[in-house]
Amino acid sequence: MVELPEFLKFYQQSAEIAWKNHAIRDLEFSGPTYQVQVKDPHTKRKEWAFLQLDEKGQIKDCFCSCMGEEENPGCLHLSVAFLGIYGKHHEPLHQRFERSLWNQLCRGCAMQVGYSSDVMTKVDDTLYVGSKDADVWVKLEFLSAEVQTRWHQILDSPLDETEETSLKFSNLTQEELMQWRSGQPSLGLSYVLSFWSDLAKWLMEMQELELSYTIDFQGITGEIPGGISIQFQEVHLYFKLSKDILELIIPALNTVHSPLKVFSLPEEAIDQIEFDDQKGTMEIHIAENGSWIKKNGIHFHEWMYFPSEGFYALTPAHLFPAKKLHGEQIAQALDNHHAFIKSRLKKVQLEATPHPLSYTFQFDTHWNLHIEAHLFERGDLSKSGSWIFGDWIFLKAQGFFRIEGKFFEEMHVVVAKNDMNDFVSQYRVWLNMQPGFEVHLTGKEPRLGYILDDDNRLHFFKSVEGEKGVIRGCDFGAWVYLEAEGFYPKAEASALIAAHPGLSISAEQLPLFIRMNQDELHLIPRFFSDSCPVAKCGLEISVNDDQEVMISPKYEYTKGYQPENVRIFEGFSFVEGEGFYELTGERFLPEKYRFPFVVESKRQAEFFSEEWESVKKYAWTIDPKLGVPRYQSLVILNLIKKEVLERGWYVLKLAYQTDKGMVDIPTFWRALKNNQRYLFTDAGRFDLLEKRYEWLRIFDKKRIDLRSRSMAMTALELIRLQILEDVNLSHLDKASLSVLQELLYFHPREFPDLPQLKCQLRSYQQVGVLWLWFLYQHHLSGFICDDMGLGKTHQAMALMAMIQESLAKQKNKIQAKFLIICPTSVIYHWQEKMAIFLPSAKVFTFYGSGRRLEDFDEQYEVMLTSYGVWRNEQKVLTKVPFTVVFFDEVQIAKNHTSQIYSSLMHVKAEMRIGLTGTPIENHLRELKALFDIVVPTYMPNDASFREFFIKPIENQGSVERKQLLSRFVKPFIIRRKKEDVLLDLPEKTEEISHCTLVDDQKHLYVEVLERSREKILQVLHDRTIAIPYMHIFALLSSLKQICNHPAAFLKTPEEYQDYSSGKWDLFKELLDEARESSQKVVVFSQYLGMLDIFELYLQQNGIEYATIRGSTVDRRAPIKRFNQDPNCEIFVGSLRAAGLGIDLTAASVVIHYDRWWNAARENQATDRVHRMGQTRGVQVFKLVTLGTIEERIDQLISQKGQLLEDVVGVDEQQVLKQFNREELIQLLQFIDLG
């Protein structure tokens, strides 16, 4: 029976008796951890003993539920448990189990079929793994109720096991536990936690209880076994043997009574053994020939199988676990077989006589103790080719040596400073044999000393006085080490309160500690010095090549001191052997500046905003690159117009000039692209987050020439830059200055001939055309915002003619393409004007339900379309490139959230011109939207525009920002008011403004016309019947009212919003344009229902007006109000009532909503405005609906001319009598509604 460990020897005899009397009632184990229930032979109580064994089978840790006395940690129960673990064997149970047939057999099956009990199927009283009839892996039969109960306990056990309750988790590493918790255990852990492992332990238990059993092998004769049957009295088992399982169980057959034996390889089979000192491996070589070699068997892996005998080993498995040994395998082989190994070792010596190890001791700077072992000379175990295998050491070129006196498993041990007290107490006998590290039992007279270590940490300890003064050492708490003398126990406490032995102060806390405890610290010898090593100090602040700020402390030392011997703290210096000295005044630097540091780019914003001013106080020198310039201006050094690139391109050399120097723009651009916050140059420090540098961010690297230090800019960019920056032109030569002034001051050239334009332009119109031509030449765009009536259309046509004329003279004969987008109501106006004044231009009107873009071919130069059509056809129209696009009445697109705005942003044109009589500067957000359409990319983005212009101007009333915005937009807007060009303005201009019927009107118009026309035409064709003038007049009056507005004809003016009218839409556009340009308007109609609609509309829209109709009694009041009240913008009058005898000179726009047969009567009404006292030109609009009776009446009025003018003062029925029968038939037959 095995002997008990020393601390259990007392119980050896009684424990053996108890074990033989079956005191062990339960035994569980997992690896080397055991839980054993022992029945006490005296108290009859059952106690639990817990044991953990080491690799050699000795107790590593243990305790018992009986809670034995502290002075004797052992007990009878632990002793019985230990004997039970070994039984009659020399190995503990877990080692025997690991090699057992039962473990190897169950492990192999688990690897083949899985670890879950779900693999088992029950048929009658038999359990199967696999099919019952065909491929059976395992078959289990339990022949009694008792064993069946035990089996169910095994199956249920894994379900109840947890980390807290199961012994199986006690030996797992943290990594294995994490794998198990995540549901991904290793294969080994899966087996340990499965029922297979418990089944193997049950079979092992029956073997340990010496229950009888038989083993049989099944298989085909002449082949290796294919199955194994095991029969205990109440348990029958069958396992299918795959080749993998068979290979596992062969070595384990020697652990049971098996009909097949296992035969080891004899020692003489091992020819030689080699050791590789580079890899640390030992290789076993087997002789190829010998009498031990068995032949004529079945070769299976490293075995030769004979069916009637068993398995003969072909490798020395009984001596060595493998042919190549590593690490612990070598240590075990040397321990067990060193004599045999020595006889076979090739070219290597082996000494089995123990050699004592020697140790060297050394403290590092942190007072950690380093202990290093050596065999013959210091460091020999750490050389290349040296190996340690348990109690054996291999030294290169010397061989193997058994060692003794090994205190530690590792050859190099580090004892941390915090562990020194325990270490000295545990190893003091051994330390007494080490010179300079002896452990003394009595101490010397102590006093308080200190050490400042390499980390600038201050330590206080009790020191002793030696022959050379205070001896260097360290206070570890219970023990104090003195250099070269050893360890002394601690004596009485220090009389000081703040500073005491064992106290340790960090470098960060040190200055404050010294200041607060100066009186006490003066009592410690040489803590303070009488001389200061620092004469003065300061900072050197510079910029490196990576644009980082470098801050370096600079010290001027007192004569006799070297920098490497002086340590600087916040407010104190320290010199070894002298002590501390308090620094004040010019000798003082704050702690954060005591060491060099770099302010990287990402920290520079915080540094300059929060630290810069305080840092400068300590500076000896500051790099000029860090100074902020007092002023800076943008300088143009050189400028060249590059027409070869494209119209409107320039190449410039730019720089920012400051009071310190000059920096070219490519340097700024590169810093911005590198996302730098600051740029440090010889001209000073620049904060690149300032808005003034934003203009540079839009340039890509193709536009910057880093070699020539120049950049390419468009005219648009150059104009914007000149407005936003205070550009200095003093460095430009005359040629460059002339080119720049031409652009910045919009110097036009001489007005060219325009043979294609069939009209004479007035002088202010010529100025506008020259301005447009300048924009075109410089690849710019802009707005014509002239007052209503000043000829914006004529100026647009003149630009078209000018571009056509210019391109015709070029060699490549490029054809210009023009796009006009306008409101539906003025499409016909453009058609007429183009046909009259620019007949050479072929106009393609893309409008109406039958429009086809395919028809816009090379013969056309102009495409005319409406805003609505563009919005709906945007997808196809944006594919067509144009030379110039004209946005007539562009204010329609002022809402940046509208679909019109969005669609116009995608027009593809080289030049964009916005036409409007509306001042566009009055509403900032609308101004921004219109500029985005007409002059894309010029305005800042929405967020910047809101912050830079809208908020300061609208919320804060900033005059400065308002003036800047005015300068910003001024180059791209030309606006002339009527009063500005009065001398060049005709007294009166008249214009027929056409419109069309909308669907509501068309249906009503056709219905009314067809209802009466045939009867009247029949009468007119019969010359025997008088002409029915009354009926004709009634019909024409109805048709004219339908042209005006369906609600006027239907006598429901209050419902006017329920109907649509083309003429009404045209009227509202003319009215809006006039109001936006601050012109008062007079509108005439001969129908009272239409006057009602006018008044309702004006009231609903909050527009103040005056009116005179036939029923008006006091005519003077509305006339006076209209002429004198600036808020009264509109005058609504009946042609009969207001067409004579009144003065309306406050107006400059007259709208004849419906035509009067008598042109003279119309002219008389117009003269209410165009008369003496009028200070502006008068514009007259006469509205005519195309394809209707109104168009025919307009033609007849022109034909009759003076004849109708002579019929003054008579009604329309009388006017009709001026037409003969054929003319009336022609009038009634005319209808062209498209």
End-of-domain residue from the set 984, 1016, 1044:
984
Residue 1117 falls inside a structural domain? yes
Residues 938, 1079: one domain?
A: no
**Residues 617, 669 share a domain:** no
Cβ atoms < 10 Å from Cβ of 179: 16
467 vs 268, higher pLDDT: 268
The distance from CA 366 to its chain's CA centroid, rounded to whole angstroms, is 45
Distance CA 1029, CA 115 (A): 114
Identify whether residues 883 and 943 lie together within a single domain.
yes
- Going by pLDDT thresholds of 50, 70 and 90, the confidence category of residue 1209 is very low
**What's the pLDDT at 592?**
78
Task: Please report which confidence band the pLDDT of residue 1177 belongs to, taking 50, 70 and 90 as the band edges.
Answer: confident
Do 175 and 64 lie in one domain? The reply is: no
Is 745 part of a structural domain of the chain?
no
Token reading at 1024: 């025997």
Contact 1106, 1091 (CB under 8 A): no
Whole-number Å distance between alpha carbons of 17 and 23: 9
Q: Specify which residues 218 forms β-bridges with.
A: 227
* Owner of token pair 């024409």: 1036
The string of pLDDT tens digits covering residues 185-214 is 888 888 888 899 999 999 999 999 899 999
State the DSSP code for 345.
B
1234 lies in a domain? no
Q: 147 and 235 in contact (C-beta within 8 Å)? A: yes
Across the range 591-598, mean pLDDT stands at 82
What pLDDT sits at residue 200? 95
Q: How far apart are CA 524 and CA 464, in angstroms?
A: 13
Indicate whether 579 and 716 sit together in one domain.
Answer: no
Same domain, yes or no, for 767 and 909? Answer: yes
1055-1069 burial by CB neighbour count: b if 16+ within 10 A, else e? ebeebebbbbbbbeb
Strands 1080-1085 and 988-995, by their bridges, are: unpaired
Give one DSSP letter per residue of 478-532, joined into a string: SEEEETTTEEEE--SPPS-SSS-TT-EE-TTTHHHHHHHTHHHHTTSTTSB-SS-
Tell me the chain's radius of gyration from C-alpha atoms. Answer: 56
Read off the pLDDT of each residue in 458-486 and give the average, rounded to a whole number: 73
Please check whether residue 743 lies inside any domain of the structure: no
Residue pLDDT, tens place only, 889-933 = 998 899 999 999 999 999 999 999 999 887 666 689 999 999 999
Residue 503 has pLDDT above 60, yes or no: yes
What are the structure tokens assigned to 910, written together? Answer: 């080289």
Closest alpha carbon to 289 in 304, 263, 268, 273: 268
Has residue 1204 got a pLDDT over 50? Answer: no
Decide: 864 and 831 in contact? Cβ < 8 Å: yes
Q: Are 783 and 972 in contact (CB under 8 A)?
A: yes
- Which three-class secondary structure state does DSSP give residue 533? coil
- What distances in angstroms separate CA 469 from CA 355, 464, 526, one per listed residue? 42, 8, 12
Pair of tokens at residue 277: 């000192």
What span, in angstroms and rounded, lies between the C-alpha atoms of 872 and 903? 9
Domain boundary among 516, 536, 571: 516
What gap in Å lies between CA 116 and CA 193, rounded to an integer? 10
Give strand pairing partners of 469: 466
For residue 466, pLDDT beyond 60:
no
Final residue of a domain: which of 516, 548, 564?
A: 516
Angle at 446 between CA 445 and CA 451, to 5 degrees: 145
* pLDDT tens for each residue of 397-433: 899 999 988 888 888 999 999 999 989 888 887 888 8
In a domain, 1005, yes or no: yes
Q: Which of 950, 954, 928, 949 is nearest to 939 (CA)?
A: 928
pLDDT tens-digit readout, 119-146: 888 887 788 887 666 678 899 999 998 9
In terms of domains, do 395 and 316 share one? yes
Whichever domain contains 1129, its CATH number is 3.40.50.300
Identify whether residues 576 and 634 lie together within a single domain. Answer: no
Put the strands of the sheet holding 387-389 in their side by side order. Answer: 350-356, 399-404, 392-395, 387-389
Strands 227-232 and 213-218: antiparallel
pLDDT band at 1208 (very low <50, low <70, confident <90, very high): very low
In a domain, 942, yes or no: yes
Task: Select from 116, 172, 160, 108 the least CA-distant residue to 180.
Answer: 172
State which H helix or E strand residue 1205 sits in. helix 1202-1206
Return the structure tokens found at 985. Answer: 């303005």
In a domain, 738, yes or no: no
In DSSP notation, 176-212 reads HHHHHHTT---HHHHHHTSHHHHHHHHHHHHHHTT--
CB 467 within 8 A of CB 435: no
Tokens at residue 1025, please?
């019947």
Helix locations, 778-866, DSSP H: 792-808, 827-837
* pLDDT of 1070 higher than 50: yes
At which residue do the structure tokens 């299918």 appear?
240
Say how many domains are in the chain: 8
Residue 298 and residue 315 share a domain: yes
Are 970 and 1109 in the same domain? Answer: no
Query: Residue 723 — very low, low, confident or very high, per pLDDT cuts 50/70/90?
Result: confident
Asked if 284 and 381 sit in the same domain, the reply is: yes
pTM value is 0.51
Q: Check whether 1207 has a pLDDT greater than 50.
A: no
472 contact partners, CB below 8 Å, separation of at least 6 = 451, 482, 483
Q: Point out the least confidently predicted range of 796-800, 805-809, 865-869.
A: 805-809
- pLDDT for 467 equals 44
Alpha-carbon span 176 to 815, nearest angstrom:
82
Average pLDDT over residues 1144-1148: 87
Poorest-pLDDT segment among 273-277, 567-571, 790-794, 979-983: 979-983
Has residue 422 been placed in a domain? no
Please say whether the beta carbons of 265 and 317 come within 8 A. yes
State the average pLDDT for the chain.
86
- 1052 and 969 housed in the same domain: no
The secondary structure element, H or E, covering residue 108 is helix 101-113
Domain that holds residue 46: 6-92
Quote the pLDDT of residue 172: 75
Helices then strands, counting H and E runs in the chain, come out as 40, 59
Query: So what's the pLDDT on residue 1137?
Result: 75
pLDDT range class, residue 730, cuts 50, 70, 90:
confident
